[in-house]
Homo-oligomer: A and B are copies of this chain.
Amino acid sequence: MSKPSIPKGTRDFAPQVMARRQWIFDTIRSSFARRGFQAIETPALENLSTLTGKYGEEGDQLIFKVLNNGDFLAKADGQVLDERDSKRLAFQISKKALRYDLTVPFARFVAMHRNELQLPFKRYQIQTVWRGDRPGRGRYQEFTQCDADIIGSEGLLNELELVELFHEALGDLGLPGVRIHMNDRRILAGFAASCGVSERLTDLTVAIDKFDKVGIEGVLRELETQSFSSEVQAAAGQLFAIKGAGTDAMVELEKTFDHPLISAGLADMRQLWNWAAQRGISSPELVFSPGLARGLDYYTGAIFEVRIEDSPVGSVCGGGRYADLTGIFGWKGVSGVGISFGADRIYDVLEHFDAFPDAAACATDVLVMHMGDATLDASLDAAARLRSSGRVVEMYPDSAKLKKQFKYADDRGIAWAVVIGEDEWASKKLTLRNMRTSEQLTLELEEAIKRLC
């Protein structure tokens, strides 16, 4: 029997951490729910064929494949086995795989259930995803995503709703220095077109997307490496040199670059900016970032990324509009827009700023002490009554020494102890002890309940 351990990149969540995580999920969930987003869940196990080819070649390598049960080699190709070809064999011995994100399963869900859904369909989904990334600081093989999407509606009010969701949920979570960056993919497409490199939009986007990590010099180097001309590099320099963060930047962008796609993107950005401002969301919280790219291929309209000022992590949320997410599963032309909250990163930011509220703890309020058989019944009754008054109450389960029971209360951070001794119970009284101050009061039960309110 070896010393127990867990796989690298996975985590146990002990009670204190778990209570904080639960509070984060509950807060995000409430924000989703009060706007009428409906929860769905999809299985952790998807058909491998559903996931393959959706995340690029690198992504395909990171999908966790599940070995077929039983004699899985029986159906494997002998030649592939003899050639020790892991890559090909994987698809012969595993039919199922673990969910890699929530977007592809959602698209699969929508395509499969299209006849049961009312459009526009607003859904949220808070579930675990798995990726075979090399584990590292803040990088896990198993983590939780919180996604909200609206599909079947092209109105820009959906984008506004998602900006409001960022604002409300991150506000409720008490995150300081929230910066909601927004851009429109058409602005990038127009930029590429005005540079004459429309056919290389993806390469251009990938290079531009690195700005956050490597700065303008890094982007220019990347463009150079990717053999983009010096004109394109100069244009990229101009793009990132645009000053301002709101309508001022939009004006400058329009002056610097001229293309119908840019105008179309800017019209939406202006409208969104004005609506948001009327709802109390504006600079510095809202930022128009014409260089914001977002790596994913499927975005076609507005894109979002939320960062936290002076925090050690990258973006905590992202999202955008996609013209055709479900097309890969046979239902074409359904436009949608969605966002994702990175709960693990939000946790790290709150911890960094020491900003978790008291509500995010798992505190038991009262420990009722075990004082022996004579008052056991009275103690159990008191515990039940205290619990029905809304407190979290534990009854110590063993007839142990008082010192041991008090130590348990201290170690657990329990604020109050109730002691029902035989003598005091003769006059229907109990002792209420404040575990922090050691102050003790002799009271009737109902008085004690009032004290605790």
Contact = CB atoms under 8 A, between A and B. Distances in A.
Interface of A: 1-7, 10-15, 18-19, 21-22, 33-36, 38-47, 49-50, 61-62, 64-67, 69-74, 76, 81, 84-87, 89-90, 93-96, 98, 108-109, 111-113, 116, 118, 120, 122-123, 128, 130, 132, 141-142, 150, 153-155, 157-158, 160-161, 275, 278-279, 328-330, 362, 364, 370, 377, 380, 384, 387, 391-395, 397-399, 408, 411-412
A14 B116 contact: yes
Contacts of A35: 387, 392-394
A384 B158 CA distance: 15
Contacts of A392: 33-36
**In terms of DSSP, what is the predominant structure of the interface of chain A?**
mixed
A40 B67 contact: no
A61 B411 CA distance: 42
Report the 6 A-B pairs with minimum CB-CB distance, sorted nearest first. A10-B43, A15-B38, A36-B394, A36-B364, A155-B398, A155-B397
Contacts of A380: 157, 160, 275, 278-279
A172 to B, nearest CB: 13
A43 B118 contact: no
A34 B393 contact: yes
Number of copies of chain A assembled together: 2
A330 B31 CA distance: 44
A22 B409 CA distance: 32
A39 B62 contact: no
A84 B85 CA distance: 15
Contact of A112 (B4, B120, B132): B4
For A14, A81, A132, the residue with the greatest tally of chain B CB atoms inside 10 Å of its CB is A14
Contacts of A120: 397-398, 408
A5 B377 CA distance: 56
B62 A393 contact: no
A330 B242 CA distance: 62
Nearest to A41: B13
Nearest to A395: B157
B84 A74 contact: yes
A330 B3 CA distance: 7
Given A67-B66, A377-B278, A387-B34, A44 B128 contact: yes
Nearest to A121: B15
A109 B15 CA distance: 12
A94 B67 contact: yes
Contact of A90 (B72, B153, B412): B72
Contact of A64 (B49, B69, B122): B69
A98 B66 contact: yes
A357 to B, nearest CB: 17
Contact of A40 (B3, B15, B38, B49): B15
Given A66-B64, A155-B399, A398-B153, A5 B112 contact: yes
A157 B397 contact: yes
B44 A44 contact: yes
